[in-house]
Amino acid sequence: MAIEKGNVVKIHYDAKIGDRVIDTCQSQEPLEFKVGEGYVIKGLEEAIVGLNQGEKKTITIPPEKAYGERQEGLTKKLARNKEVEPQTGIQKGNIVRYQTPEGAIRFATVTQVEEDNVTLDLNHPLAGETITFNIEIVEVKEE
């Protein structure tokens, strides 16, 4: 059965930027999701439509179908709240998770740490990156 929107699929994958593996589920349970619900990045979801159970494929996804292009100046300076910071303290390069006013969970990168403030780059840490996936379709189910 070829994958179509609405199917529940299980896949094994390796995700790479260049030669560097950034994520994998090869030695774990396969990733399971419903096609069309936006659980995975748009380019991956589009690329698996039409594939069949057992099929393996390498897919290259450009930034606009992954985590978007980097937007210069997309930063925010926040007052530090040392009571909620990790015990090790916050450092330049840390990836932090935050919630938007609409309730969405996002990630940002710490770009500057001052005594009373911290500056965040609100671009997703993988924005601007082309990602290559090696996937195997483990299972396809109709919902």
> Quick one: 21 and 36 in the same domain?
yes
> Quick one: 105 and 82 in the same domain?
yes
Q: Which residues in 19-90 belong to E strands, given as ranges?
A: 20-24, 31-34, 56-61, 75-79
Calpha distance 36→42 (Å, rounded): 9
Comparing 18-32, 60-74, 91-105, 114-128, the range with the smallest average pLDDT is 91-105
Are 133 and 15 in contact by the 8 Å Cβ rule? The answer is yes
> Quick one: 50 and 12 in the same domain?
yes
> Quick one: 46 and 18 in the same domain?
yes
> Residue 101 above 70 pLDDT?
yes
Domain count, the chain: 2
46, containing H or E segment: helix 42-48
pLDDT digits (tens, 9 = 90+) for 28-78: 899 999 999 999 999 999 999 999 999 999 999 999 999 999 999 999 998
> Quick one: 112 and 93 in the same domain?
yes
35 assigned to some structural domain = yes
